Structure 1
Amino acid sequence: MHIIERSRIVTARPDENGWRELLLDRDNNYFGEPPVGVARVIANFVHISDTHICDAQSPARVEYLDRYADPHNPLSKVINSLVGTYRAHEMFTTQVLESMVQRINRIKKAPITLEGIDAVIATGDITDNAQSNELDWFMRIMTGERIRPDSGARDKWEGFGGTIYSEHFWNPEGTPKGERDDQPRSSYGFPVVPELTHAVRASFFASGLEKEWFAVHGNHDALLQGTVVPDDLLRRIAIGSRKFVDLPESEVLKTLQAISESGPASYPDGSLASSVEVTPDIQRDFLTQNMFAHAMSAHGNGHGFNQEIAERGARYWVRRVGAAVVISLDTVNPYGGWQGSLDLAQFEWLIDTISQNRGSYVVIVSHHPLQDLVNGYSPNGLKRILKEDLLVELSRFSNVILWLAGHTHRNKITYFGPDEYRGFWQIETSSLIDWPQQGRIVEVFEDRDGEVCIGTTMFDHAGSIGIDPSHIKLDDVHNLAGLSRLLAVNDWQRRGGPFAIERNEGQPQDRNAFLHLPARLAISHRAASA
């Protein structure tokens, strides 16, 4: 191995409150048959996903809904799902990304082929709430600029855990006089970290990613909380001075049902919610249709995009990376819902692009994995392409060999296709917001027997391990990133059961693995001439 240490971060035994520390252990061996040498490198990628850069003070957030999925809340058994509108560690997303960027910069060669990295692919949910300041923070970190991850007031944290005290959420700086201790600290072992809400808002100079990188559009980059279409009312809430903090329990189930995987989806009724005053900030405005592409195309190589793509409002692209053709899809349903689909024009473009590149191996990258392309909602009646139709069409092409995706926040590897000559490996990589906050090296090459091999190797960001939260260095980005990872693995809603946080790690075959395909290009050439 080269640079990638053969180690893995694991959890220690839980204490009486279920709190678990993190330790370093030996990494698993690779799953699958090792390749017979390396004859030709097709492309080497670093895959990261779901950075969820978060303005955790935004008035447009609906953190208050999340507590109804807490295991001690009576409604949790009725809801029987995660809500996902609050995380104790969502204030650290910029520090985690900076720590990952520094880690990627240290990777000089891929561990199997011992060749360089051709590109870093970030497969969507760049932002958490489709806000312009969140995208600005992401771009500053990736391009190496000074960043202050703060909004609203400059002298205080105007979110949950700061000026908004609630016993249902983590308050890192302790309990104010006259209030009860919060549940995360009293029942689940969460620590007290004085001055933390000041530290996470402090300016720092980002390192900047030193490798070529490309961005993919995700549902959280277009929709409020990844689900609801922004409108004028919601924009006024986002940039305004009132932050909703609670909702009558009689409205909770109806509200959660309206935040659905398929459109239409709706935001809670603000007339029924209690609120507090916060400092307004115009930078919290939502991204419009072409702002994502414009932001990318304005820097360097455009990161997959260009001005022409941005002007026509598209958010998909094709680029040659190494010897592979990389096709990025925009799987967001613009009409709402957190699951994905394709519009007909993009679907036809995809099939045409693959057909034009039959002489090259094709790698598809998207936010949603294939199995989550189930959101067919279309109020104008226009057809949207779902997983079944897409798989049928892709199975016609032998040169499509790999699909990289995120969205599920887990590590998972699956083969899709009717046989070994028509089909592809799909690799889902975990998020940078939930445990295990990992990236993945994906190496695509031909071995000496002529097979196509795909090697995948997981790696962790550079956040500190074994830190004591009560003695953390608050001016150290790696200490803050390490604390984020520690809080993430201790999520009190995901300690066992069907939503156990360990499920995000995947099985051994979903992490470090060798994947194989027979040589395909000769078949593509024959098909093209038929």
Structure 2
Amino acid sequence: MAGIDITTDRRRFLFTSGAAVAATGAAFALPHMSRGTTDAGAVPAQRGGPGPSSARPLSGRAAPYGTTTLETTARLSGRAGYRRIAPGPGWPLVVRDELTTARAARRDRRTALACFVQLTDLHVADVQSPLRTEFLRAGSPGSWRGQEALNVAGAVSLVEQVNALGGGPHTGRPPAFVMSTGDNIDNHSMVELEWFLTVMSGGRITPNTGDPAAYEGVQNSGLPLYWHPDDSLRDQDKRRGMPRIPGFLDAAIRPVTSPGLHIPWYSTPGNHDDLPGGCLTPQDPQLAEYITGARKLFSVPDSDVAAFAKVLETGDDPKSSVLKDILRRNAARARTVTADARRRLATPHDYLRAHLNPAFAGAGPVGHGYTENHLDGERMYYSFPIADGVVGISIDTTYRSGHYEGSLGTEQLRWLERTLAAHSSRYHDADGRVVRNPGGDDAHILVFSHHHSPSMTRRPDAARTDETRHDGAEVIALLNRFPNVVAWINGHSHVNRITPHAHATPARSFWEVNTASHIDYPQHARLLELVDNHDGTLSLFTTLIESAAPYRTNFDDLSAVGLASLYRELAYNAPGLAARMPAPGDVHEVMAGTAGDRNTELLLRRA
């Protein structure tokens, strides 16, 4: 995608209906592989374990079911118009040794410490919600996603893939858990939260609100601004090659059954989990009434589109005054839809209580990282055991007052420092002095959050005015003080990117692993495997995975599996994205990351 302005273009792409500016920091500058090398053969496993994984068809289903992107990846065929998905070759493993030297003998000595999966930015969405702002598409074609109506089927297919993975490709160890690093839902509504929890824990989902027998969103509105899959309207998407698929909308609101994850899963909050649309004022009376009501705006004057896009660009409208003015000013233009109380906005207490509901326990644990103690003060951060000698820390980086950027408050930053110290027998204080803690267990530490470091700022949080906020640079500085921090794993950017955070003392360096979303191209998740090389180094293997849906779509197949395939193909044909993609076979795609941001072995000095 040479020539794309990722910072601006992707931000506008995510303005749609509350997917607001999740990619603000997508183009942050990261060091690239100063010493890393492509090493296709560097996929050995634990001592006595398997070597590189090979395609393993399960239950007769087509790839990528049960495979990883080491084996095969989705590629677009053709060069113009609507481009179909076809299976392509896998991506190689890249050894990244910026933080320590890679020693060849490690391949014969290593043992597995942990294996798990990261999902991020599922954005499970009620696409008929009145609070969605699809009308922003009038200012930018990429500000609305044609695939969104199929997001539940797509998320279920990702769950199926995790269940089918078997052992990790480098250790043979099956994943022990899944961590979902935020933006689990899109509009911050209770019905979306119920759908997300059911996707993850298992059960039947009817992805429809309002009229129980009909779709009432923009895709049958008669406005050429939106893709109308069911009819022959010559909308702007069909003019660029998007297909007509009769029955699409009826299929999109049919019940889908999720098998639920077969392994425990944990949850980290994102800005869309805490805020309406990921950036609007929480629990605002006007917005709360509007989202459950019977009126919805499908289009507004261009001047209103420009005004709202401007404040979304800056994030400087904490009271959502511009949007509320637009809703008032255009009330006569709104169309009648079916009111639905299930759309009510979730409070932080609602969000926590829903996770603690035994009905959504699935494979566990009950609460998925949260406990009854979190309801006191509505804290959304915690630590948990990953494996013997490995600890996970989930932090809450959201602004509760209404902003898409992230930060940590002083109270949580101090909690994070105490938690890191509890698992460290020797570390450094803020002034660089050595601190010895004989009670520390020296566990390897993995930190999880929604926001990545460049999207964390110091702006005040109007919901917590008595507390100083801390940005990504301060979090990096804190983590660099603890030699047993292995990685900071996050999402938010909708881009695959991995960066080393080096320190003058090599053992105090760590990796930041930023993973793309599952609603936008390239719809990835990550399988991560931590190993001890028994030579003074650790390796963290990162392997991208796609959903279980077959690559080849069939417009006549509107089953749940067929919809999941179409979900991927539509995302790959997003306006302003497909046209800028490289020719088939070129793996250097910006949002998917470079080769060193995909399937990697990340080396670091052991503490």
What TM-score, normalized by structure 2, do the two folds share? 0.79
Query: Of 231, 234, 240, which aligns to 2:293?
Result: 240
Where structure 2 has 5 or more consecutive residues not aligned to the other structure, the ranges are: 1-51, 57-66, 96-101, 425-441
Q: Distance in 2 between matches of 1:14 and 1:23?
A: 13
Residue 570 of structure 2 corresponds to residue 487 of structure 1: yes
Aligned to 1:314: 379
Match of 2:342 among 265, 271, 283: 283
Which residue pairs with 1:213 in the alignment?
265
Of 495, 499, 503, 1:414 maps to: 499
Match of 2:164 in 1: 106
Aligned residues: 496
Quickly say closer, same or farther: Cα 1:183–1:262, change in 2 above 3 A. Answer: closer
Deviates more, 1:373-382 or 1:294-303: 373-382
CA distance in 1, matches of 2:375, 2:153: 29
| From 226, 233, 242, the counterpart of 1:169 | 226
Match of 2:541 in 1: 455
User: How far off its partner does 1:391 sit?
Assistant: 1.9
Q: CA deviation at 1:40?
A: 3.1
Which of 245-254 and 435-444 deviates more? 245-254
Change (3 A) 1:189 1:502: farther
CA-to-partner distance for each residue in 1:38-76, whole Å, 9 max, x for gaps? 533221111110000000000011100123112xxxxxx
What's 2:483 paired with?
Answer: 398
Give the deviation of 1:417 after TM superposition.
Answer: 3.2
Instruction: State the Cα distance separating 1:310 from its structure 2 match.
Output: 2.6
Q: Within 5 Å, which residues of 2 pair with 1:23-62?
A: 23-32=86-95, 35-37=106-108, 39-62=110-133
Q: Which residue of 2 aligns with 1:292?
A: 351
| Residue matched to 2:196 | 138
Number of the residue aligned with 2:328 = 271
Whether 1:304 and 2:369 are equivalent positions in the alignment is yes
CA deviations 1:410-456 (Å, max 9, x no partner) are 11111113243212111111111001112111111101323110111
Cα 1:393–1:204 change in 2 (3 A) is closer
Aligned ranges for residues 431-470 of structure 1 at < 5 Å?
431-469=517-555
Cα distance, 1:497 vs structure 2: 5.7
Q: 1:372 offset after TM fit, Å?
A: 1.1
Name the CA distance, whole Å, in 2 between partners of 1:90 and 1:285.
20
CA RMSD of aligned residues (A): 2.0
Say which SS state the counterpart of residue 406 (structure 2) adopts. Answer: coil
Identity %: 28
8 Å CA contact retained: 1:173, 1:192:
yes
Using the alignment, how far apart are the partners of 1:502 and 1:282 within structure 2? 42
| Partners of 2:280 and 2:509 in 1: CA distance | 34
Match in the other structure for 1:74: none
1:38, 1:127 → 2: CA distance?
42
Corresponding residue to 2:395 among 312, 326, 329: 329
Structure 1 window deviating more from structure 2 (92-101 vs 488-497): it is 488-497
Q: Alpha carbons of 1:497 and 1:479: their partners in 2 closer, same or farther (altered >3 Å)?
A: closer
Q: Which residue of 2 aligns with 1:514?
A: 601
Letter in 1 for 2:596: Q
Cα distance in 1, alignment partners of residues 115 and 300 from structure 2: 49
Which AA in structure 1 matches 2:570?
A: L
Aligned to 1:504: 591
Give the conservation status (yes or no) of the 8 Å contact 2:445–2:484. yes
For 1:101-124, what per-residue CA distance to the aligned partner results, in whole angstroms no more than 9, with x for missing partners? 111101121110111212111100
Deviation of residue 153 (structure 1)?
0.2
SS of 1:303's partner is coil
Determine if contact 1:248/1:272 at 8 Å carries over to the other structure.
no
Residue identity opposite 1:504 in structure 2: M
Aligned-pair CA distance for 1:141: 1.5
Displacement, 1:297?
2.1
- 2:236 aligned to which of 183, 194, 198: 183
Tell me the distance in 1 between the aligned counterparts of 2:313 and 2:371: 33
Distance (whole Å) between structure 1 residues aligned to residue 315 and residue 256 of structure 2: 39
Q: How does 1:4-153 map to 2 (within 5 A)?
A: 4-5=67-68, 6-15=71-80, 17=81, 19-32=82-95, 35-37=106-108, 39-70=110-141, 84=143, 86-153=144-211
Within the candidate set 216, 222, 230, 1:158 is matched to: 216
Mapped to 2, the partners of 1:203 and 1:256 lie a distance apart of: 35
1:337–1:375: 8 Å Cα contact kept in structure 2? no
TM-score between both structures, scaled by the size of structure 1: 0.90
The residue number in structure 2 matching 1:75 is none
Write the letter of the residue equivalent to 2:334.
Answer: S
Opposite residue 370 of structure 2, the aligned amino acid is F
SS in 2 for 1:410: coil
1:250 to partner: Cα distance:
2.1
Residue 305 (structure 2) pairs with residue 252 (structure 1): yes
Over 3 Å counting, the alpha-carbon distance change for 1:279 and 1:499 in structure 2 is farther
Mean CA deviation greater in 504-513 or 309-318: 309-318
Task: State the one-letter code of the partner of 1:48.
Answer: L
Question: 8 Å contact 2:202–2:258 — kept in the other structure?
Answer: yes
Which residue is equivalent to 2:453? 370
CA shift, 1:498, in A, is 11
**Separation (CA, whole Å) in 2 of partners of 1:499 and 1:242:** 42
In 2, distance between residues paired with 1:9 and 1:250? 39
**Corresponding residue for 1:383?**
468
Query: Equivalent residue of 1:404, what SS?
Result: strand
The structural deviation recorded for 1:293 is 1.6
Preserved contact between residue 138 and residue 302 of structure 2 (Cα < 8 Å): no
Partner of 1:523: none
| 3-state secondary structure, aligned to 1:504 | coil
